[in-house]
Structures are given as C-alpha cells and as structure tokens.
Amino acid sequence: MAAREPAHVVELTVAQLRPRIYEALRIYVTAMHYPPATVRQRAPMWLEHMQRDGWSCVGAFHGDTLVGIAYGYRGARGQWWHDEVQRGLKAADLAAAQLLLTDYFELTELHVHPDAQGKGVGEALLTELLSRVDAPRVLLSTPEGPTRAWRLYRRIGFTDLLRNYRFAGDSRPFAVLGRTLPL
C-alpha cells in the first residue's frame, strides 16, 4: 500500500460509506491491532452511528484505495461514550469538566492504515473533518501512550480532560482530550 502521491481527503456520505464499511473497518482493526473478528462486531455500531445527529465523515484515498477514515457526531446524554466519560469525570470529581459534555462533537473514529501512517494523512483527515463541524468544541478518547495519535492531538491543541480512564469492557487506560473549535 505504499503511496506514490499524497492521499486525497474527501467527505463521505452515508450512501458512500455504507458499501465501503468493511474496508473502513479493516483499516480500524489493523491500525488498532484488534483481532479480525472485530470487524463483524463493530459493523452494526458504525452503521448505527451514521444515523446520529451531526454525523460527518471523511476518508483518505490513494487512488481508489481507502487508507484512512475519520468520523464523528454530536455527543449527547444516553450515548455510551458520553455516559462513560460523564461517569469518569464524576468519579474524578471534575465537575467543571462535566460542563464540556453539553454541546460538543465527538470525534468517534480516526484511523490510518499503518502503511500510510507518518505521511500527514491523520492530520489531513482531522483538519478536514473538524472544518465541517458546527459545535463549540470537540472531544475524543485515545489509548494512553506515546503514539502518533498522541503527537497529532497535542500538535493540534487538544488538552487533557481525563487521564488513565478505563472504559467498561476495555482494560487499557485511555485519555479523554478536548479542544475548542474552530481549529
């Protein structure tokens, strides 16, 4: 999957992503080092996310090959991630940070195939997606550790809201980060 030219980033509608959902999920599974069966487990969730208020998606392509995907939507009470983060903020007694959960865009997924990483694809996806967002802030979670994702989020100006948090069903520590919009 070596790139000869820079990836081009385009908006993907629900109708455009739906037939490529398994291609996008394979990027997710590969980038996150999850077992291949995760594709089948996550497909219904991603399809449900496409129906949420404010859903927006961009894809990065080398020719006709999808090499990166980013999407998100308006976060709201009753959504799993929102409620998990709210629980973590309450447990950490971060009442002021809980106010950030009232009007925000949740950057749900941002993944670049490992063969395309380190070439600016993640930053291009992030900046293009967030340029389309009509919300005062963006929030995300990412596994703790020195990764390319961490360096990207810091370079773009994301700051800590919650550190070393363990979401239900995942033993790894995560950080919840946020920043105001526009970029």
Name the residue type at position 137.
Answer: R
What DSSP designation does 173 have? -
Distance in angstroms (rounded) separating the CA atoms of residues 57 and 41: 20
Q: Is the pTM of this model over 0.85?
A: yes
Question: What is the rounded (10 degree) CA torsion for 54, 65, 62, 154?
Answer: 40
Is residue 60 a contact partner of residue 66, using CB atoms and an 8 Å limit? yes
Burial state string for 103-129 with b = 16 or more CB within 10 A and e = fewer than 16: ebbbbbbbbbbeebbebebbbbbbebb
The DSSP H or E segment spanning 38 is helix 38-49
Distance in angstroms (rounded) separating the CA atoms of residues 153 and 167: 20
Which pLDDT band, with edges at 50, 70 and 90, does 4 fall under? low
Distance in angstroms (rounded) separating the CA atoms of residues 17 and 6: 21
Is residue 176 a contact partner of residue 128, using CB atoms and an 8 Å limit? no
User: Which residues, at least 6 apart from 95, have a Cβ–Cβ distance to it below 8 Å?
Assistant: 89
pLDDT at 3: 44
Domains of the chain: 8-180 (3.40.630.30)
Residues labelled catalytic: 153
Question: Average per-residue pLDDT in the chain?
Answer: 93
**Widest Cα–Cα separation across the chain:** 50
Q: What is the pLDDT of residues 78-119, one digit of tens each?
A: 999 999 999 998 888 877 677 789 899 999 999 999 999 999
